[in-house]
């Protein structure tokens, strides 16, 4: 049986792509990868992407592959791409994309957490606490504490029909609203808080959100 190539190198305008066969044994793959990486035909520092096809690549395997490819010294792995993910990873991603809805009033001493975005239909009263890994949208008065992007997402925003919060937090940035509260209560229009490029939390009209965070839109279709 003629030995089939399990590692194919393909050149694109974005750089080299190492396409790894997803049917062969993992040990064969590593062996050939080692040989290809030492290929004297390659010169200078080259960025490569690795595509593993339908082979699931655990974190440890990915590290091993990167190590072998980079061992020769002139290849640098920019990313590893795979067509498959675990159920666990998939569920996690779905959860992060989802928005959870809470209907009711978040009263003093109560806490509401969401793994993705959070929509609250009702008020958040003083000493009530809402937090989400994604953005927080409140149809009602926000008079308590809100923490958006609590896992570090700096793109997250906090929007409310009435923004009169005592504390606003986005990712690791916190703002106590002592001075702003008087100004905000004079402008009861819908507002949103976001992390400004200067690193501080800024508050703007809700209508400006489409310019500030166009990436938040997940809507497809329409005209």
Partner 1 sequence: MGEAIVITSGKGGVGKTTSSANLGTALALQGKKVCLVDTDIGLRNLDVILGLENRIIYDLVDVIEGRCRIQQALVKDKRFEDRLFLLPAAQTTDKNAVTPEQMKDLITELKRDYDYILIDCPAGIEQGYKNAVADRAIVVTTPEISAVRDADRIIGLLEAEDIEPPKLIINRIRRNLINSGDTLDVNDITSHLSIDLLGIVLDDENVISSSNKGEPVVMDPNNPAALGYRNIARRILGESVPLMSVDTGKPGFFGKLKSLFSK
Task: List Cα–Cα distances, 167 to 32, 117, 126, 131, 143, in angstroms.
Answer: 57, 19, 10, 12, 9
In this structure, are residues 87 and 58 in contact, taking their beta carbons and an 8 Å threshold? Answer: no
Q: Which of 24, 62, 105, 119 binds partner 1 (CB under 8 A)?
A: 105
Q: Does 115 bind partner 1 (CB under 8 A)?
A: no
Q: Does 127 bind partner 1 (CB under 8 A)?
A: yes
Q: Is the Cβ of residue 126 or residue 188 nearer to partner 1 in the bound state?
A: 126
115 in the Ramachandran plot: left (φ > 0), alpha (ψ -120 to 50) or beta?
Answer: alpha
Selected range binding partner 1 among 41-49, 81-89, 100-108, 171-179, rule: CB under 8 A: 100-108
Q: Is the Cβ of residue 53 or residue 122 nearer to partner 1 in the bound state?
A: 122
Six-digit token string for 216? 């938040």
**What DSSP string describes 137-165?**
EEEEEE-SEEEESTTS-TT--EEEEEE--
Q: Which of 90, 97, 109, 189 binds partner 1 (CB under 8 A)?
A: 109
Q: Is the Cβ of residue 36 or residue 129 nearer to partner 1 in the bound state?
A: 129
Q: Is the Cβ of residue 137 or residue 162 nearer to partner 1 in the bound state?
A: 162
Count of residues engaged in binding partner 1, rule: CB under 8 A: 11
Q: Is the Cβ of residue 104 or residue 188 nearer to partner 1 in the bound state?
A: 104
Q: Tell me 171's DSSP state.
A: T
Nearest in space to 146 (alpha carbons), one of 193, 214, 92, 196: 193
Q: Which residues bind partner 1 (CB under 8 A)?
A: 104-105, 107-110, 122-123, 125-127
């Amino acid at each position: 049986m003629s030995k089939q190539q399990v590692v194919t190198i393909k050149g694109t305008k974005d750089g080299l792509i190492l396409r790894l066969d997803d049917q062969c044994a993992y040990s064969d793959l590593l062996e050939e990868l080692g040989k290809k990486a030492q290929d004297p035909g390659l010169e200078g520092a080259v960025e490569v992407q690795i595509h593993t096809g339908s082979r699931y690549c655990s974190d440890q395997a990915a590290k091993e592959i990167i190590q072998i490819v980079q061992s020769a010294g002139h290849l640098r792995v920019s990313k590893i791409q795979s067509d498959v993910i675990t159920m666990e990873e998939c569920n996690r991603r779905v959860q992060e994309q989802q928005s959870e809805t809470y209907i009711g009033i978040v009263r003093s001493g109560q806490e509401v957490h969401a793994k993705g975005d959070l929509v609250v239909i009702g008020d958040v009263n003083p000493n009530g606490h809402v937090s989400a890994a994604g953005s927080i949208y409140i149809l009602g008065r926000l008079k308590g504490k809100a923490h958006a992007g609590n896992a570090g997402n700096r793109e997250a925003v906090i929007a409310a029909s009435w923004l009169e919060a005592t504390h606003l937090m986005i990712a690791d940035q916190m703002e106590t609203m002592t001075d702003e509260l008087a100004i905000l209560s004079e402008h009861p229009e819908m507002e949103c808080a976001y992390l400004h490029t200067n690193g501080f939390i800024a508050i703007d009209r809700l209508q400006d959100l489409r310019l500030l965070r166009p990436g938040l839109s997940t809507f497809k279709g329409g005209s």
